Amino acid sequence: MREGKLIGAVSSFRRKDELAELSAQLSQVQAYSDLLRVQTHEHNNQLGTIAGLIELGATREALAFIGREAATEQTLLGFLMGAIAKPKVAGLLLGKYHRAHELGLELVIDPDARLHDIPARVSGSQLVTVLGNLIDNAFEATRRHGAPYQPIRVSLSDLGQDLVLEVEDGAGGIDPQLADRLFEQGVSSKPEPGHGIGLSLVRKTLDALQGEITIEATTQGSCVVCYIPKEV
């Protein structure tokens, strides 16, 4: 403005997919935050139990409890680090395992899960975005469906020409009217506002990797399967 007259203007241009990129980054930060928060919660519970046993004079029981908890954690951690080449993905699954326990759910990771042969073009962050959002969606669907809760199952495979990621729930299936549109931004089976972002992020991430996603009906719920080609 000069002497009350407009003499110029500035335009700001942003990439159309900027929101999707920021949402994906937020999803990854949220996954790491959940991991730290849940582990803190679990450790506080364990310390409280140990302190209570010691105060009651049950030293032997306290030592046995410590041994069991340490063995369980080390077994799971050792399995994940041995089965998955990307530490970010192993960390995500460890955090989701504890998060499920905190929610009163059960997350079952296929003992034959394996992700070693991962092409360089597929980052750990992209896999975290896909898996993290699918698992969160399964958690929410399972809790909405109500007790008794069915386990959420995760399977990972690098056999063949694709990376295959599967997340299965027992939450009663998906509304057929929404099935074809669930991966559009803003579309959700949840009535509350503010949903419908996670699955669209999954779709955008898979599109960037030239991958595919399908939803298969199971006897008790649904199974989301993602295919990421090793070569394009």
Q: Which domain holds residue 166?
A: 18-229
DSSP 40-53: HHHHHHHHHHHHHH
- In the chain, the number of structural domains is 1
pTM exceeding 0.85 = no
Scan for tokens 């990972």, then name that residue.
156
35 Cβ contact list (under 8 Å, min separation 6): 91, 92, 94, 95, 98
DSSP 76-126: HHHHHHHHBS-HHHHHHHHHHHHHHHHTT--EEE-TT--B----TTS-HHH
In a domain, 10, yes or no: no
In a domain, 1, yes or no: no
Give mean pLDDT, residues 110-130.
92
CATH of the domain at 61: 3.30.565.10
Q: Which of these, 105, 79, 116, lies nearest to 94 by C-alpha position?
A: 79
Say if residue 36's pLDDT is above 60: no
**What's the confidence (pLDDT) of residue 119?**
92
In a domain, 203, yes or no: yes
In a domain, 5, yes or no: no
Say if residue 19's pLDDT is above 80: no
In a domain, 8, yes or no: no
Beta strands in 129-205 (DSSP E): 152-157, 162-169
Give the whole-angstrom CA distance, residue 135 versus residue 163. Answer: 17
Q: Is 91 in contact with 54 (CB distance < 8 Å)?
A: no
In a domain, 210, yes or no: yes
Say if residue 45's pLDDT is above 80: no
Q: What is the mean pLDDT of the chain?
A: 77
In a domain, 109, yes or no: yes
Say if residue 200's pLDDT is above 90: no
In a domain, 81, yes or no: yes
